[in-house]
């Protein structure tokens, strides 16, 4: 069973403190720290870990323990919005585990964080049953500085823990979501208006596909423009459909797709779905992928 967990911590300027957090994760059995990186302008670090349910739970609690000692939101500054010391903790199903399992884990970890550290916890995304509290942006609006007032208003009691913020650690947002795919399509033009119109056509917020976030940007060095996207649920809004729509919209302006790019990691199921679509493969099963078969048999 493999669950990915990507905790975001409000500390990105003191490397020794961040390294101590990484060490605390590494010391946990049943989990592996794949990567971590810090952004000084955001004053924020992102850890990527994988393991079984027990392993990722223990690692997240160990991280809260370090952050409780080393991070104080009362003196924290940075460009990125944040509510708490350990700000956001998403659990992502990877292999041999369902979204329902990850939702259950988010609730269990949320309850444990609240009980052990007296930190209020909000559930988000798939772990939240309340449509007003599914989006991270909605929960985080007002940030740490506005948190005490927000928590006192109707509808903002936390899912777990005390009714007011932890003095130094604020609150935490814990949940479950699908893997994100960072997917960009470069257009053979320097017309930013075209990239922006296409981004508006495909993104959810302006009437496009439900699981697409998109913006049009200029790639100055290359003299071209890009539709820069996050695909937040590749099963329900697949890559190939987004690609074909962008391509068709670009045609309308006489513009060709130059290339696309996947930034960072992509689940193999997302690529397989594209192969299935274009090759018109009927009755394809994940078990037919040689490496999948070997992984499950060995």
Residue 87 Cα distances to 81, 133, 248, angstroms: 9, 15, 39
Interface region with its own copies, contact rule CB under 8 A, candidates 103-111, 128-136, 144-152, 255-263: 255-263
CA of residue 11 relative to chain centroid, distance: 18
Question: Which tokens is 205 given?
Answer: 């917020």
Residue 245 Cα distances to 44, 122, 192, 201, 238, angstroms: 35, 36, 18, 9, 11
- The minimum distance between CB 51 and its own copies, in angstroms, equals 9
Give dist(CA 61, CA 189) in Å, integer: 49
Site string for its own copies, 23-62 (x = CB under 8 A): ---------x-x---------------x------------
- The minimum distance between CB 225 and its own copies, in angstroms, equals 16
Binding its own copies by CB under 8 A: which of 243, 249, 250, 255?
A: 243
Site string for its own copies, 95-134 (x = CB under 8 A): x---------------------------------------
- The minimum distance between CB 294 and its own copies, in angstroms, equals 6
Give dist(CA 144, CA 73) in Å, integer: 7
Restricted to residues 222-241, the positions that interact with its own copies (CB under 8 A) are: 239-240
**Cβ atoms within 10 Å, residue 91:** 29
| DSSP state for residue 81 in the 8-state scheme | -
Q: Is 42 a catalytic residue?
A: no
Q: Which residues bind its own copies (CB under 8 A)?
A: 2, 4, 32, 34, 50, 94-95, 179, 239-240, 243, 257-262, 264-268, 271-272, 274-275, 277-284, 288-295, 297-298
């Amino acid at each position: 069973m493999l669950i990915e967990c990507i905790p975001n911590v409000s500390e990105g300027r003191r490397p020794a403190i961040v390294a101590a957090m990484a060490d605390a994760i590494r010391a946990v059995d049943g989990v592996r720290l794949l990567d971590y990186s810090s952004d000084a302008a955001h004053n924020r670090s992102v850890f990527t870990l994988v393991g079984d349910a027990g392993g990722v739970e223990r690692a997240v609690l160990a991280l809260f323990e370090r952050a409780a000692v080393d991070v104080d939101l009362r003196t924290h500054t940075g460009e990125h919005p944040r509510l708490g010391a350990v700000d956001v903790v998403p659990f992502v199903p990877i292999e041999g585990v369902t979204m329902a399992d990850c939702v259950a884990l988010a609730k269990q970890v949320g309850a444990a964080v609240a009980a052990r550290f007296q930190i209020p916890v909000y559930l988000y995304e798939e772990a939240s049953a309340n449509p007003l509290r599914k989006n991270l942006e909605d929960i985080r609006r007002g940030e740490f500085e506005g948190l005490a007032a927000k928590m006192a208003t109707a509808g903002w009691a936390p899912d777990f823990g005390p009714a007011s913020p932890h003095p130094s650690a604020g609150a935490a947002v814990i949940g479950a979501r699908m893997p994100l795919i960072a997917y960009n399509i470069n257009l053979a033009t320097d017309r930013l208006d075209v990239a922006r119109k296409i981004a508006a056509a495909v993104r959810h917020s302006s009437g496009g596909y439900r699981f697409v976030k998109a913006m049009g940007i200029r790639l100055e060095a290359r003299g071209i423009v890009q539709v820069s996207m996050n695909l937040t649920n590749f099963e329900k809004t697949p890559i190939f459909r987004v690609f074909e729509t962008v391509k068709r919209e670009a045609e309308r302006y006489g513009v060709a797709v130059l290339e696309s790019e996947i930034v960072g990691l992509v689940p193999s199921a997302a690529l397989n779905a594209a192969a299935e679509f274009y090759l018109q493969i009927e009755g394809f099963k994940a078990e037919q992928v040689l490496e999948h078969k070997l992984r499950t048999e060995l």
